Structure 1
Amino acid sequence: MKSAVETLNPTRVRLTVEVPFEELKPSLDAAYRKINQQVQVPGFRKGKIPSRIIDQRFGRGAVLEEAVNDALPKFYSEAVTEGDISPLGQPEVDITELKDNELLTFTAEVDIRPEIEVPDYSGIEVTVDAVEVTDEDVDSAVERLRERFASSSVVERAAADGDEVKIDLEARVDGEVLEDGVATGVSYTVGSGRMLDGLDEAVTGLEAGATATFTSELKGGSHAGREAEVTVRVESVSARELPELDDDFAQLASEFDTLAELRDDSRGRLAEEKKYQQATEAQEKVLDALLELVEVPIPQKLLADEVETRKHNLEHHQLAQLGMDLDAYLSLQEKTREEFEDELKEQAEKGIRTQFVLDEIAKREQLGVSQEELTEHLMRRAQSSGMGPDQFAKAVVEGGQVQMLVGEVRRGKALATVVESVTVKDSNGEPVHLDDEEDEAETATAAADESTGAGTQAEDTAKAGD
């Protein structure tokens, strides 16, 4: 077999492959055996039909077609290895010549990873928010904890801001009650703004047994994005009572004896959360600065496939779970389909560029992935998918997605390597040191995943195998 590589552009090549007929003979023999098992000819036992009879009855062309289809993947793979290329996706194959007992010639066009040069990035400087926990931050955290321990009791008065009400809802569109637009016995906190726009205003001032009607845009269901006439009936009104902020509350809500100790613990937890947010912000900004330094040609077919994959995941997984279609989603987002497509393309382009650049850095730095690192990443992916680790791991293995997860971890480590070599300062001008290597690698992997859109395919594969 002989092969040649022709570069069509920085991201696409054409392989031309010539195969002497004798190298096709194993596949030709296999084709005769396969046809032998599938057909019957009077006077011959199944599987014992001579080749010349098969040629006479079914045509030599049918045998050759079967043989070529069987052999092409092997010869293509050998040509890829011989040409030392890294193909992306499936090739477009064209058989240009097939001479019986002489020669098979075919071409294969395929996208490839572009060769990219990553320049010195040590001069990158980014600024992130300083880690500052104010007394107001602590007050808010303690208040949220306090609300979790609130009690409520039914009152004989009109509903007011902060009350808990039990309500029935009925939504109509064009005068028709929606099948999925009726809900009874729903608990709702007045003033929370967590359901339909206009609901807070409608229930405020209503006593038990009273009703009100208002117009609102539906946020989910079969008519998401449509204006609906909603009738709300209040079943009961309950006043919420918050516990006193004292040492007794601290003992009730935590393992601490005093309110001061509880506040100190809350301050420490908030500082850790903000440090994590700061690390994520640093990695995202460093990644953006890195991408600005590198020119990355984008394979157009790969880009088209990535855009379609992201659109499919949004429509058939994220929106489907909300009972919403794409038109309703666009209405809520106040975007045209063209704006949505442009945004999706931009995200896909950044994802592909991120993957190529970080893969190149990982290769240059010879970064590997240990079993422990892969396991930790898999556990995180399982948690985000809402599946158990064993169930998720089984589905990923069966779906052939293990190497994809390995790639995600390597890219996270590559980004962490870049962050370590650049200058990161906070908004006060102080240097930021991301000292915990394990946490840094975890947040870097998350930042890289967010940019590339990684993880969705693994989670979709896992759910499909559920």
Structure 2
Amino acid sequence: MQVSVETTSPIERRLTIQVPAAEIDEAVSARLKDTAKTARLNGFRQGRVPMSVVQKRYGPSVRNDVVGEVMRERYVRAITDEALNPAGYPSIDPTVNEAGQDLEFVATMEVYPEVELASIEGTDVERPVVEIAEADVEEMIETLRKQHADWQVVERAAADGDQVKIDFQGFIDDEPFDGGSAEGHELVLGSNSFIPGFEEQLEGAKAGDEKTVKVTFPEDYQAEHLAGKEASFKVKVHEVKAQVLPDVDATFIERFGVESGDVAEFRAEVKKNMSREAEQAVDNRVKQQVLDALKAANDIPVPSALVQQEVDGMKRQAAQQFGLGEDFDVSQLPNELFEEQAKGRVQVGLLLAEVIKQNELDASDDDIKAKVEELAGQYQDPQEVVDYYMGNEQLKTQVKSAILEEKAVAKLLEQAQVRDVNMSYQQALAAAQQQAEQREEDGADEESANA
């Protein structure tokens, strides 16, 4: 077997492989002899079909089978001999495939990029320092009360925070438009779930009132045929409901797993959960700054096969998130919605893998168990969660990957200039949310630019 390797790009290789004709012809001949033993053709007894007839009847298909098997086997042998690290499956095409001639085929493949890590030294990283105040705890308890509130019909005008049951129909230029009507819709005023300006105009309305609400659709509205258009809605108000918050008593407290029903214990549990959430927000904010710096310093080429794998995974996540069902064909979702973000994820993954390799980072079973115990603390029966994870190799691998990523980020953070910034609980969460939204926006802008 002769192999030549051509570098067609930093991450693409073109292998030209030749196999002696004698090897192919001998393999085809042996396969035809085996076929002749079991061949059933009209006019001949089984096993008595002349080889010339077998050759004419089965020769082309047998040769195709043999050539396919040989190309796959020799490709694997070639990448092993040449110490190539393929990323995804190759494209294999025969260029010479004739009896009596050496078989020649070309395998075009992507390989993992060679990464020479550039330092992120000097990068300015902002690390929030968060203190949970009693006022934050009080606000969180108020939020929990609202989440478990009841609605009670009232005989008064609707105010901000009330729920109204309405029928509505929308018009543009006095013509009704699709999707602009509903009956018995329950809308919480101030929830900002409708077009800007709609909810405010229903404040002061009472049950039985009919109103005309005039609004303008935002320029970036998702339905392009409505974007920027002025519209009017005829609205009928059926009832107004006020929110009735539950008392912070034993019944309410027990809903959150505090079996004693004690207010002080409940507040401590709420504060502990808020501290955990704030810590997670801080870690994510610091981590993202580090990873953004790592990407900026190391603009490596990314194999398209790995990007497509990530796109496929993101499609499945999206289908699950939006409840599209297990039978939904995710290929219906366009790749363009996910490609830029997928490319970024793959790039980060390759760079972190190199950080882990260069620093010889690892995670022991003790490390994994400690991390699982940390996560399990949020559940009612922590030991059951620990036993489940530690008894499942796939889950342990996932936890190990998360630990290695944390260690890699910590190692990179040593190169950065870390600046502590005092933030309130709400500020820390808002900053994390803003950062996430900015990443999505940057991804969308980059995708538009590439288009």
Secondary structure, counterpart of 1:237 in structure 2: strand
Give the 5 Å matches for 1:43-442.
Answer: 43-45=43-45, 49-57=49-57, 60-118=59-117, 126-171=125-170, 175-176=175-176, 178=178, 182-214=181-213, 215=215, 217=217, 230-242=233-245, 249-254=248-253, 255=258, 262-299=266-303, 301-302=304-305, 305=308, 309=312, 346-364=340-358, 365=360, 367=362, 411-421=401-411, 422-423=413-414, 425=418, 427-428=420-421
Pair 75,426 (structure 1): closer, same or farther in 2 beyond 3 Å: same
One-letter amino acid of the structure 1 residue matched with residue 347 of structure 2:
R
Q: Which moved more, 1:107-116 or 1:145-154?
A: 145-154
Distance 2:154 2:422 in 1: 54
Distance 1:129 1:142 in 2: 23
Measured after TM superposition, the shift of residue 70 of structure 1 is 3.3
Asked if the contact 1:3/1:17 (under 8 Å) is kept, the reply is yes
Measured after TM superposition, the shift of residue 283 of structure 1 is 1.7
Secondary structure, counterpart of 2:97 in structure 1: strand
Asked if the contact 1:31/1:66 (under 8 Å) is kept, the reply is no
Q: Which moved more, 1:101-110 or 1:419-428?
A: 419-428
Asked if the contact 2:28/2:62 (under 8 Å) is kept, the reply is no
Pair 35,359 (structure 1): closer, same or farther in 2 beyond 3 Å: farther
Q: Which moved more, 1:284-293 or 1:73-82?
A: 284-293
Pair 53,163 (structure 1): closer, same or farther in 2 beyond 3 Å: same
Secondary structure, counterpart of 1:249 in structure 2: coil
Asked if the contact 1:158/1:206 (under 8 Å) is kept, the reply is yes
What corresponds to 1:333 in structure 2? Answer: none
Measured after TM superposition, the shift of residue 108 of structure 1 is 0.9
What corresponds to 1:461 in structure 2? Answer: none
Secondary structure, counterpart of 1:71 in structure 2: helix
Distance 1:264 1:317 in 2: 35
Pair 267,158 (structure 1): closer, same or farther in 2 beyond 3 Å: same
Pair 347,97 (structure 1): closer, same or farther in 2 beyond 3 Å: same
Q: Which moved more, 1:80-89 or 1:234-243?
A: 234-243
Asked if the contact 2:87/2:110 (under 8 Å) is kept, the reply is yes
Q: String of CA shifts for 1:30-77, please: whole Å, max 9, x gaps.
A: 47767997x86431246764442133356x445423321233222211
Pair 74,230 (structure 1): closer, same or farther in 2 beyond 3 Å: farther
Secondary structure, counterpart of 1:184 in structure 2: strand
Distance 2:200 2:272 in 1: 38
Asked if the contact 1:2/1:17 (under 8 Å) is kept, the reply is yes
- Alignment root-mean-square deviation, CA: 4.8
One-letter amino acid of the structure 2 residue matched with residue 297 of structure 1:
P
Q: String of CA shifts for 1:248-273, please: whole Å, max 9, x gaps.
A: 73434324767565544433332221
Distance 2:292 2:351 in 1: 11
Secondary structure, counterpart of 1:159 in structure 2: coil
Distance 2:169 2:47 in 1: 70
Secondary structure, counterpart of 2:90 in structure 1: strand
Secondary structure, counterpart of 2:248 in structure 1: helix
Secondary structure, counterpart of 2:8 in structure 1: strand
Measured after TM superposition, the shift of residue 119 of structure 1 is 5.0
Measured after TM superposition, the shift of residue 196 of structure 1 is 4.0
Q: String of CA shifts for 1:121-153, please: whole Å, max 9, x gaps.
A: 687662211122234422321221232454443
One-letter amino acid of the structure 1 residue matched with residue 20 of structure 2:
P
Q: Which moved more, 1:221-230 or 1:8-17?
A: 221-230
Pair 45,229 (structure 1): closer, same or farther in 2 beyond 3 Å: farther
What corresponds to 1:463 in structure 2? Answer: none
Pair 36,68 (structure 1): closer, same or farther in 2 beyond 3 Å: farther
One-letter amino acid of the structure 2 residue matched with residue 159 of structure 1:
A
Pair 414,92 (structure 1): closer, same or farther in 2 beyond 3 Å: same
Asked if the contact 2:311/2:339 (under 8 Å) is kept, the reply is no
Pair 164,429 (structure 1): closer, same or farther in 2 beyond 3 Å: closer
Asked if the contact 2:352/2:408 (under 8 Å) is kept, the reply is no
What corresponds to 2:12 in structure 1? Answer: 12
What corresponds to 1:439 in structure 2? Answer: none
One-letter amino acid of the structure 1 residue matched with residue 293 of structure 2:
A
Higher relative contact order structure (alpha carbons within 8 Å, sequence separation ≥ 6): 2
Distance 2:228 2:300 in 1: 42
What corresponds to 1:441 in structure 2? Answer: none
Asked if the contact 1:126/1:285 (under 8 Å) is kept, the reply is yes
Asked if the contact 2:88/2:306 (under 8 Å) is kept, the reply is no
Measured after TM superposition, the shift of residue 295 of structure 1 is 4.6
Pair 151,352 (structure 1): closer, same or farther in 2 beyond 3 Å: closer
Which ranges in structure 1 are unaligned for 5 or more consecutive residues? 323-328, 330-336, 381-388, 431-446, 452-466
Asked if the contact 1:28/1:63 (under 8 Å) is kept, the reply is no
Secondary structure, counterpart of 1:87 in structure 2: coil
One-letter amino acid of the structure 2 residue matched with residue 291 of structure 1:
K
Asked if the contact 2:361/2:404 (under 8 Å) is kept, the reply is no
Pair 410,287 (structure 1): closer, same or farther in 2 beyond 3 Å: farther
Distance 1:109 1:239 in 2: 67
One-letter amino acid of the structure 2 residue matched with residue 114 of structure 1:
P
Identity within the alignment, %: 27
Provide the aligned length of Structure 1 versus Structure 2: 388
Pair 148,73 (structure 1): closer, same or farther in 2 beyond 3 Å: same
Distance 1:96 1:31 in 2: 24
Distance 2:407 2:105 in 1: 44
Measured after TM superposition, the shift of residue 88 of structure 1 is 1.7
Measured after TM superposition, the shift of residue 18 of structure 1 is 1.7
Which ranges in structure 2 are unaligned for 5 or more consecutive residues? 326-332, 377-384, 424-435, 441-451
